[in-house]
């Protein structure tokens, strides 16, 4: 049926979802990445950590022996300092890594709609229903499975090293620290491997659910196509109308006596004929491409093109096509038409002289 959402999401549907902030992001991948970065920082800083903890132990012993009254204050201050020195680099690097990983998963995305407050989020009844929805129960089961997997892996590590840990009391301080470091490394590497597997499964599930939620029905696809192609048809219709208007204006240039140019951005075709148009009449005008077409058509028809920047701008800003120019334009327009009439008179004066130059040769022949 056309109402069932069985069709995969189109590219437009996916892009619209991204604009709303609906993207596929795996939280477990962030956890794995943060663990990887944190473990790298820990191992890289292990010598420094040893020094910090050694200093802390010295403070504890010294404070306990010298002044029991100041024991708690000195120890708390030293412990807080060690805490900052050991945890702040990890937190800072993990925060930066999380930002970079999010950008890597979904790319650069600005989604204002996702940041807008929604009253649906305040619906207590709907939120209560979502708490016991199929999706929430599935997420809870997946979370429990992840915890059980990691716990089982850690348990296996401790069971494998149980004998060494039991007899570690016989060793010295350095041997005990070495043993603890070995246990820590093994736990870290095994849990990291387990988290990588879990994160991959989580990414696959999240991606599958995201695409499932974006599925479309046949009617959705048809509506989207109508919207897209309808908009394209509207644009094409506007272009056709624009071309028709331009062609109509160009066809009327034949009745004009002069084209006033800007010289390149604006063209105005004027007609002036006493008895018909006692005041210059605007036949056509345009800007940029239309101005170029008007000048091109005028050149083909042999209509004079006069450059008068001020007049062209004034007419274009103050008047419309099929209107007479305004009183403020008359003085400049008179200069233009005087130049046109002078040019026409010169052309007419040259034609008889050319005939006279050729007539003796014809008669002698």
Residue range 253-267, pLDDT digits in tens: 888 889 999 888 899
Q: Are residues 127 and 40 in the same domain?
A: yes
Residue 210 has pLDDT above 70, yes or no: yes
Residue 211 in domain? yes
If you average pLDDT over residues 118-123, what whole number do you get?
56
Last residue of some domain: 181, 200, 219?
A: 219
Whole-number pLDDT of residue 314? 92
Residue 309 has pLDDT above 70, yes or no: yes
Residue 73 in domain? yes
Residues 6+ apart with CB under 8 A from 160: none
How far lies 89's CA from each of 42, 43, 64, 94, 151, in Å? 9, 13, 30, 8, 27
pTM across the whole model: 0.42
Q: How many domains is the chain built from?
A: 2
Residue 364 has pLDDT above 60, yes or no: no
Q: Are residues 116 and 191 in the same domain?
A: yes
Band of the pLDDT at 268, cuts 50, 70, 90? very high
Last residue of some domain: 169, 199, 219?
A: 219
Strands (E), 174-321: 258-261, 266-273, 277-287, 305-307
Band of the pLDDT at 194, cuts 50, 70, 90? confident
Q: Are residues 159 and 35 in the same domain?
A: yes
Q: Are residues 199 and 258 in the same domain?
A: no
Q: Are residues 177 and 31 in the same domain?
A: yes
Residue 152 in domain? yes
Residue 42 in domain? yes
Q: Are residues 196 and 52 in the same domain?
A: yes
Using a 10 angstrom Cβ sphere, with 0-12 exposed, 13-18 middle and 19 or more buried, the burial of residue 302 is exposed
Question: Of 69-73, 146-150, 218-222, 346-350, which gets the smallest average pLDDT?
Answer: 69-73
Q: Are residues 52 and 159 in the same domain?
A: yes
Give the distance from CA 270 to its chain's centroid.
48
Residue 301 in domain? yes
Residue 332 has pLDDT above 50, yes or no: yes
Whole-number pLDDT of residue 87? 76
Residue 238 in domain? no
Range of the domain at 300: 249-354
Q: Are residues 115 and 200 in the same domain?
A: yes
Q: Are residues 133 and 196 in the same domain?
A: yes
State both tokens at 56: 């802390």
Residue 359 has pLDDT above 50, yes or no: no
Whole-number pLDDT of residue 311? 92
Whole-number pLDDT of residue 134? 72
Residue range 195-207, pLDDT digits in tens: 888 788 888 888 8
Band of the pLDDT at 363, cuts 50, 70, 90? very low
Whole-number pLDDT of residue 223? 76
Q: Are residues 211 and 256 in the same domain?
A: no
CATH number of the CATH domain containing 262 = 3.40.1690.10
Q: Are residues 264 and 312 in the same domain?
A: yes
The per-residue pLDDT of the chain, averaged, comes to 74
Band of the pLDDT at 61, cuts 50, 70, 90? low
Residue 1 in domain? no
Secondary structure (3-state) at 257? coil
Question: Of 7-16, 117-126, 286-295, 333-342, which gets the smallest average pLDDT?
Answer: 117-126
The residue behind tokens 């494998």 is 160
Q: Are residues 260 and 212 in the same domain?
A: no
Residue 66 in domain? yes
Band of the pLDDT at 357, cuts 50, 70, 90? very low
């Amino acid at each position: 049926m056309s109402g069932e959402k069985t069709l995969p999401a189109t590219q437009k549907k996916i892009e619209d979802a991204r604009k709303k902030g609906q993207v596929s992001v795996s939280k477990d991948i962030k956890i794995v990445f943060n663990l990887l970065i944190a473990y790298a920082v820990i191992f890289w800083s292990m010598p420094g950590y040893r020094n910090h903890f050694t200093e802390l132990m010295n403070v504890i012993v010294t404070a306990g022996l010298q002044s029991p009254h100041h024991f708690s204050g000195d120890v708390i201050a030293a412990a807080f300092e060690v805490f900052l020195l050991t945890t702040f680099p990890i937190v800072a690097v993990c925060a930066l890594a999380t930002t970079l990983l999010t950008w890597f998963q979904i790319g650069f995305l600005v989604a204002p709609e996702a940041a807008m407050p929604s009253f649906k989020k305040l619906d207590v009844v709907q939120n209560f229903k979502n708490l016991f929805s199929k999706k929430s129960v599935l997420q809870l089961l997946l979370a429990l499975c992840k915890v059980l997997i990691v716990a089982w892996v850690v348990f296996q590590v401790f069971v494998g090293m149980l004998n060494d840990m039991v007899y570690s009391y016989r060793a010295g301080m350095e041997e005990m620290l070495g043993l603890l470091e070995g246990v820590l490394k093994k736990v870290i590497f095994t849990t990291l491997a387990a988290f990588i597997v879990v994160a991959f499964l989580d990414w696959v599930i999240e991606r599958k659910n995201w695409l499932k939620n974006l599925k479309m029905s046949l009617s959705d696809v048809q509506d989207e196509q109508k919207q897209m192609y309808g908009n394209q048809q509207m644009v094409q219709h506007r272009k056709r109308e624009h071309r028709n208007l331009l062609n109509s204006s160009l066809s009327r240039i034949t009745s004009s006596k002069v084209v006033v140019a800007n010289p390149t951005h604006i063209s105005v075709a004027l007609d002036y004929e006493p008895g018909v148009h006692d005041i210059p009449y605007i036949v056509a005008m345009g800007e940029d491409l239309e101005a170029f077409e008007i000048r091109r058509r005028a050149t083909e028809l042999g209509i004079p093109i006069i450059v008068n920047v001020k007049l062209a701008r004034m007419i274009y800003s103050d008047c419309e096509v099929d209107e007479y120019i305004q009183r403020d334009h008359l003085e400049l327009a008179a200069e233009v038409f005087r130049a046109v009439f002078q040019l026409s008179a010169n052309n007419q004066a040259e034609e008889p002289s050319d005939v006279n130059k050729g007539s003796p040769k014809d008669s002698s022949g």
